[in-house]
Amino acid sequence: MKPNWQAFATLLLSALAFSGTTDAVEGGLVHTNAIRTIDLRSLPAVTEQIGVVVQNVRDSKAFKTFTVYIPHTKADRLAKVTVHERKSGAELQVSKMENEPLKYSWLPQPIEYRATLLQPLQPGEKISLNIDCVYLNTIEPRPKVVEQTGDQTWLWKDDARLLWAYPIHKEKIVVRTNGEIKSYSQIKESSKDGKSVTFGPFIGGESPNAPVEVRFRDNREQLEAMTHRREYFVSHWSNDLNILEHYALRNRAPALDAFDKVKQTMSRFMKARDNFVKTLLVKVPADAREMYVVDEIGNVSTSSVTSRQRLNGDAFKVMQLKPRYPLAGQWNYTWWHGYSVPLSNYLRVNRNHHALRVPFIGSIVGSASQNEEIPLTAINTYNTAVSKYELRITLPEGATNVNVRVPFDVDSIRQMPQSYYFDSSGRTVVVVEHANVAPSAVDAHVLVTYDYSMLSLWQKPLVIAFVVFALFALTSLASRMQLGLAVKPALTAKKTQ
């Protein structure tokens, strides 16, 4: 039998975690019961909710924090971690910790998060917590290559033994899918019920030291924005906020064994949908104007924009982007689109102090529908995961004392100078970078505050006026100057005689 080194490393890391020297992982807390619920119904996002009952078994010591480990195998796909008290529903403050090097440095190290309890957990007391982790693009198509009209089958795979910071008495795994389950790991204490699979319960840490997997069918669209850059350009003179979005998109469906254009055309009359993404829906504000779509070839004239729509009290328009070719499995498409909105709807001014509040990220929905008209409710569907995101906010020239506030932790926030046409001192550009953007970030907003005086507003016109006047003065002066050789009158008269 081939050894399972991944399971061995996980088991060894779990043992080493208990030998740590930090207060949070000292003996004293135990999991009396843990239920892991894997939700595969909102792909490509995978939500893992871990319900735990934690007990303090110390005689005299109270605990103020609770530690959560994220295995290194899933850390690069982690989008969000939250911890709630189950009884009150209150969200706990979660901080990412800087791990101390393990005794055996050749082992991959897990990522440690620490949640601060609302009240210290006294000796003998219990508390029920819900740990919610959101991962992106963690499932893979199986098989990886299918026929053009074949179903999409996906594989979820994870370790049966979760990496815990504390001993565990009882553990169970529940996997929920949206489609038919084709197969699953046939281990002891495993069962299937409709569209869900249960592994366990495992008593006293008896969970198998091997991965468990579930293979299921799901023909819904799954897209990955490999890179997404959203740019805001602030113009006080024209009361304009210009928005530009760059996308590099990939269809995560299984690759085709061969592409048949005739078969793809005939599928329009035989099926309501196929595995080709034909339309991309972008939700834009209701007052958006001057919209355009451009790819590497040129303008994408097949795109369109709906009139003002209203859904659940929200007014908006929908840009329906039609790529130059339908996106089959593993195919990519790169483009950028933009539009303008009134700046006054996003900016608040108090004398020289300005506060700009804009959405953190825009949403995009891929559709494989054969119909020309797509239902309006499809715009609220989530099927595009953003792997690498960059937000840029270009402030007007002369903006000072710039501060940025994002409602959640991001990878980096920085400011850099940038010069555009007719700039004299340059502008400040706020750059926010983040990997694995959680679906909930669509509702988040970024607040940028800065100082901008009336003199700064007139800075560019005054500089342009000064440059024009200087050029005019230099031209006038040059026209009055005689640059040729002067001729003496007497010498001229003598030559005439």
Give the pLDDT confidence of 377-422 residue by residue, as tens digits.
888 889 999 999 999 999 998 899 999 999 999 999 999 998 887 6
Structure tokens at 231: 């740019």
Given this model, what pLDDT does residue 86 score?
93
Contact 220, 178 (CB under 8 A): yes
Q: Which residues contact 13 (CB under 8 A, 6 or more apart)?
A: 71, 102, 107, 108, 109, 110, 163
Cα–Cα nearest to 341, from 239, 224, 200: 239
Return d(Cα 231, Cα 361) in angstroms, integer: 10
Return d(Cα 65, Cα 263) in angstroms, integer: 59
How confident is residue 300, by pLDDT bands cut at 50, 70 and 90? confident
Beta strands in 343-383 (DSSP E): 347-350, 353-359, 364-367
Model confidence pLDDT, tens digit, residues 201-255? 988 767 777 889 999 999 999 999 999 999 999 999 889 999 999 999 999 999 9
Structure tokens at 33: 């019961």
Query: Above pLDDT 70, what percent of the chain?
Result: 87
> Structure pTM?
0.85
